[in-house]
Each structure stands twice: as structure tokens, then as C-alpha cells.
């Protein structure tokens, strides 16, 4: 389903959980990073922007503990874990929201679990109307990877990346910017193999070939690490939406990526000669 009816093509920004939280410390936000990113987003002044953030040491820790992604086993203790996972995401979301509002960004948080239901882990129904109206007004919808209800599994985890791709396709996004804790995509894990070459530009065809080689970087990630991230972003790239993966832990990279300025990162485009959407 497309035809967003928006006059301007929105930009969809994903702030990875590894950027806005301390990955190895359960339930610990990286407030310095959150505030810096809010400042960069404010300065970029993107006319239509959707921000989605990940779970990091909030969502993933909790989701793993209660095996939320695998679905509801009918146990009261797991159901409590489902609500706790959502609550952990709200706590993190509120920190991001506060930082954005402090920088005079009209951000409006909407819980994905309140308007999306999945089927076997894939988004099945979504109400776009509130988002469209917010975008039309110039507000910034703020969403996140969430514990959501599922027609088959009872509940599951919706990754921020699946949400990003789905929104970008629906609203015909100009570009997707994904902030992670690496400079972009490498054919080997830079955390294990020193500094392999960064893939600066990549077509869909090359990406498909590379996918098996791309190493996951998250030890505690219920949504599949880097490979899962790429797989989730694929539908948007296939639609021709340029997708830029940059290091969100380094100052100014997200700003430059949002502005369409030259920046260190991996730009994934459908085809070689794809036009630059600036
Ligand atoms: C995960 O979202 C959300 C939960 C675990 C509830 P993501 O999969 O998008 O999070 P990050 O960016 O990898 O941390």
C-alpha cells in the first residue's frame, strides 16, 4: 500500500539501540548521545521527518529474558514480561522524546503496539492516519521497536528496522538514514578483524551477495544483528529508496546524512546509476 498523499517526501531516521544505550549495561541509556543526536536533528531542520529508535539494552535485554519474540506460551509470568518489555521501551522512548522536545522539535511519541498488529512477526495491519496528519502539520512522529501483538503468535517483537522499511515504503520516503555503532557495512566484523575496508557504496545486487558475509555485531540482539537489519531494510531499498548507514556514535555523521551531505558511511541504492535524491 503506497500513495501517501504527502506533499514532501519524508526522511526516515533510525537511531540504533547501540547508539542511544550502553549495550552491555542493562537498562542504561546513553544520555550524552541522545542529547547530541537531538541537537543534530534540530539543526538539520528536515521538513518531514519520522524518527524510529531501537531497543538496545532496554528492549533486547527484557525481550530475551522472557522470549517475547518467540510468542506467547500462555504463562502469566511471560505475559508480565511482555508488558515489562513494552514498559522498558517506553522508558527509553521518553528519554529520547524529552531530548527532542528540549531542542524544540515537535516530536510526538506513538507506541507501535497501539496501532500495529503483526502476523508471524511481519507487520499485518497498521493505522497510518495519525502519522500522516502529524507529518502534514510538520510534527515529527517518534516510534520505536516494540513488543506488539501478533495474530498467530499472541505477541512478538517488532524491530525498529522492519518498521522503518514499512513506513519508508508507505510514505514514499526520500531517504532512510540508519545510525549504528559502526562506520557502515564491512565484509568482516570490524570488532574482530581490525579495520577491514568500509563498503562506501553498494547496489542491491552486491548487497545480496554480501549478505552472507556481513557479520552481526550485537551479542544480545533478539532481532538478528546486522544481517537481520539488512534483511529488514531490503523492501525499502527494492522500492528505490536510498538507504544510508552511518556511525551514530560519531558527532555530525547523522546531521550530514540527514542533510544529504558527503559523509562516511555505506550508501545502499537499488541500482548503480540511481539518481541521488537530494
Ligand atoms: C528492538 O528494536 C525492540 C525491542 C527489543 C523491544 P531494534 O531491533 O530495532 O533495536 P536495535 O536498534 O537493534 O537495538
Residue 53 CB neighbours (<10 A) = 29
CB atoms inside a 10 Å sphere around CB 176 = 26
| Ligand 1 centroid from CA 47, angstroms | 26
Give pLDDT tens digits for 109-166: 999 999 999 999 999 999 999 999 999 999 999 999 999 999 999 999 999 999 999 9
CA dihedral 141→263→183→160, nearest 10 degrees, is 10
Q: Which grid cell sits at 278?
A: 537530494
How does pLDDT run across 53-68, given as a tens digit for each residue? 999 999 999 999 999 9
Tell whether ligand 1 has an atom less than 6 A from the beta carbon of residue 60: yes
- List the strands of the sheet with 116-119, edge to edge: 122-126, 116-119, 146-150, 154-158
The answer, yes or no, to whether any atom of ligand 1 lies below 6 A from the CB of 63, is yes
Q: Which atom of ligand 1 lies at the shortest distance from residue 52's CA?
A: 9
Percent of the chain with pLDDT over 90: 79
pLDDT bin (cut points 50, 70, 90) of residue 278 is: very low
Interval between CA 102 and ligand 1 midpoint (Å): 24
- Check: pTM over 0.75? Answer yes or no: yes
- CA-to-CA distance for 49 and 53, rounded, in angstroms? 13
What percent of the chain is predicted at pLDDT more than 70? Answer: 89
Closest among 33, 32, 24 to 253, alpha carbons compared: 33
Amino acid at each position: 500500500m503506497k500513495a501517501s498523499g504527502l506533499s514532501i517526501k519524508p526522511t526516515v531516521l533510525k537511531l540504533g539501540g547501540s547508539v542511544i544505550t550502553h549495550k552491555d549495561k542493562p537498562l542504561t541509556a546513553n544520555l550524552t548521545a541522545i542529547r547530541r543526536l537531538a541537537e543534530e536533528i534540530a539543526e538539520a531542520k528536515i521538513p518531514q521527518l519520522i524518527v524510529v529508535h531501537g531497543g538496545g539494552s532496554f528492549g533486547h535485554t527484557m525481550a530475551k529474558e522472557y522470549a517475547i519474540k518467540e510468542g506467547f506460551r500462555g504463562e502469566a509470568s511471560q505475559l508480565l514480561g511482555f508488558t515489562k518489555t513494552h514498559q522498558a521501551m517506553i522508558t527509553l522512548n521518553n528519554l529520547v522524546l524529552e531530548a527532542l522536545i528540549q531542542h524544540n522539535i515537535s516530536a510526538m511519541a506513538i507506541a507501535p503496539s497501539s496501532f500495529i498488529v503483526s502476523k508471524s512477526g511481519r507487520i499485518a495491519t497498521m493505522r497510518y492516519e495519525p502519522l500522516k496528519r502529524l507529518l502534514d502539520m510538520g510534527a515529527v512522529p517518534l516510534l520505536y521497536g516494540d513488543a506488539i501483538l501478533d495474530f498467530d503468535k499472541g505477541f512478538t517483537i517488532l524491530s525498529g528496522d522492519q518498521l522503518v522499511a514499512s513506513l519508508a515504503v508507505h510514505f514514499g520516503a526520500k531517504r532512510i538514514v540508519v545510525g549504528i555503532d559502526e562506520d557502515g557495512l564491512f565484509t568482516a566484523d570490524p570488532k574482530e578483524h581490525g579495520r577491514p575496508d568500509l563498503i562506501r557504496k553498494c547496489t542491491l545486487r552486491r548487497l545480496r551477495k554480501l549478505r552472507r558475509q556481513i557479520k552481526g555485531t550485537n551479542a544480545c540482539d533478539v532481532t538478528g544483528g546486522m544481517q537481520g537489519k539488512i534483511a529488514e531494510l531490503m523492501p525499502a531499498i527494492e522500492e528505490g529508496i536510498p538507504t544510508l548507514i552511518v556511525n551514530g556514535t560519531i558527532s555530525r555523521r547523522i546531521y550530514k546524512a540527514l542533510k544529504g551531505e558527503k559523509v562516511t558511511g555505506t550508501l545502499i541504492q537499488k541500482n548503480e546509476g540511481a539518481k541521488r535524491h537530494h
